[in-house]
Chain A
Amino acid sequence: MDKSINLDHMNRKDFLSLAGLGMGGALLSQLPLMGAPVPPGKPFETVDTALKKQLADIALNAARSKGATYTDVRIGRYRNQFIITREDKVLNTVDTESYGIGIRVIANGCWGFAATDKLDHDGIAQAAELAVSIARENARLLTEPVQLAPQKGYGEVSWKTPIVKNAFEVPIKEKAELLLAANSEAMKTGASFVDSALFLVNEQKYFASSDGSYIDQDVHRIWPTFTVTKIEKTSGKFQTRDALSAPMGLGYEYLIPDEKKKIKTVTTLYRDRYDILEDARLAGAEVGQKQAAKSVEPGKYDLVLDPTNLFLTIHESTGHPTELDRVLGYEANFAGTSFLTLDKWKSGKFNYGSKLVNIVADKTQPGSLGAVGYDDEGVATKEWDIIKEGTLVNYQAIRDQAHIVGLSESQGCCYSQSWRDVQFQRMANISLRPGKTPLIPNDLIKNVEKGIYIIGNGSYSIDQQRYNFQFSGQLFYEIKNGKIVGMLKDVAYQANTQEFWNSCTAICDQSDYRLGGSFFDGKGQPMQVSAVSHGSSTTRFNGINVINTARKI
């Protein structure tokens, strides 16, 4: 995933003046920047599906009359809400909304796309015509025509994220006060500064295609997060500790704590329900412990990775290299290609990881960021294996790639971040299946002689073919002879993807399985973001290289 964000209308600076300044860098760099602000607390002004069908039909008819052999139309209303606070201040509340239409066609065997926010008859018809003319113009640059895997039309269908409580309908004041209360908890236990934010996403997406689908979807996502900072006045040194929450495909129920869904190790970890007050309280104390922690001795350690850390390693080292567009070279100029080349998959015996490693792709898992009913080219979503007992068995494909890997249909991986951008192959939720034998984190740690238990995600970087990576974290605990003996700092682990997954020796069971994720998986040109989750249980990796990141300037 990448930090840079598509800004479209606003430049970054303009946006920040809207979203409110004073956030810590860690939060700032992660703002979801789509759409324009609108007021919060208003009832949804949803456009009824009959009207959307009429608008879509204008585009479908116009494109067909200009010679398109395939057309899909996406009419989207994308809503975000941000509440941004620091310490005892609410810096800003912003509601953004963006409404428009994106029309994609095939003409002369070539893709074309045009988008507009002029949603009258002429605006839509002109955009459809423009998409066809772009396709015709570019057809001379093809080596072979686009081959689209067949897809049946579903008629008029709909899908909604199964939320319990719509977070947009919770009063602004109540949400702001929860963040302020969390800030106060962190300050009480020793933080010097706290930046916190709540991000809400609602995508109202209407899809229609010349295959005969009219699909209405209502997608909800939520992400509460914070960064606490502690400054030691005399030395001028500072440390931070981020929230251990995850962005989720849930409603406001995510913010209603549930004792039964907490996992207690050396700190508290959260499964499907989050307790922001408790996490902030712990963060204020833990950032102080981090200040006083021992700087890590570089060398080889057995790593015990909590899902709050491992999800990102899965994302970068399994999710990305199994994206078929990268494998084929479509991302060579930006996001990169992949070491998991077609010959490795065809051999049927490429040893990606140890026998314990089973990795699944899925677009249906409840609570995940990726969960939707249909993708953005009208394909119903599903689940399939990527790595089976350590062997590479499949990729993630869309309609115009399916034939390349011998699939008769798409795997439903085609998405766009908004109506403005063309849809393309995006990562499904890619998750590590839990271990089959009962094992909880505290028992896993008991077997480790010399290790580090890592919680939370920190710095992350991987090469463009996904071999060499470096990850950090939020909390690092030294393990000696089966016991946690104290906190460490300045820790990052560097490894090669294949070696890393082959060093996997233990995976905790289903009871420890949790989702991590990001709103901001970046790919494509112009770059688009995509929301994706990764499930895992606490997992052990033997003999991984750990470096010390402390420097002097």
Chain B
Amino acid sequence: MLEIHELFAKVEGKQILNGLNLSIKSGEVHAIMGPNGSGKSTLGNVLTGRAGYEVISGDVMFNGKNLFDLEVEERARDGLFLAFQYPVEIPGVSNMEFLKASVDARRKHIGLPDLSSFDFMKLARESSQRVSLDPAFLKRGVNEGFSGGEKKRNEIMQMMLLEPSLCILDETDSGLDIDALQVVAAGVNAMRSEARSFIVVTHYQRLLDYIVPDYVHVLSQGKIVRTGDKELAKELEAKGYGWLEEEGV
């Protein structure tokens, strides 16, 4: 699914990723944890191709394609999805219109016919209910005036509609209360399948009680310094990141 090999990247002249390696197979869930500034969000932005995030060296293969040969929108159409840590508010553009445009683009790319407006609205309403978001939100501007939790649920709804093959959740749990966290986790779990993989970026072990990962990686200073299973997350929660540094890994 995804092969990251010796990835070095910088942001605004500052080198953030320092030779990151990661291999993800179909159906796997990988959690990435690490202290602030270790490069967790940078990884998501580099993979999706955000302007300003510059790859110095290394390569990333995504479903057999060189990811860096593709534009931002091409990566998305090929099935890469990033749930934003800070979803963007776009007043004046309705959520429904935005969702339809993105689903149309993805369907066209994979050779499926356009959904009629009627069918799409039905689908969107169902999806919004699955993440406990009032369908009235579909008519509002994209994320306009949404609470933090509503924005995150909107991200998960987009993920459901786009049916990506690789989902990156960038601190989707930040700012969520327990109820919203469970809704988000249930949405993710419902989407887990043999054909779909996840990268779950988080600061807290709590999310991993709900979304149980196959692997847990610790990112520090731009590279993965430790890999384990879900028990590693509990150890980190108990001991903090300082423990790893003391061990000198």
A-B interaction: no
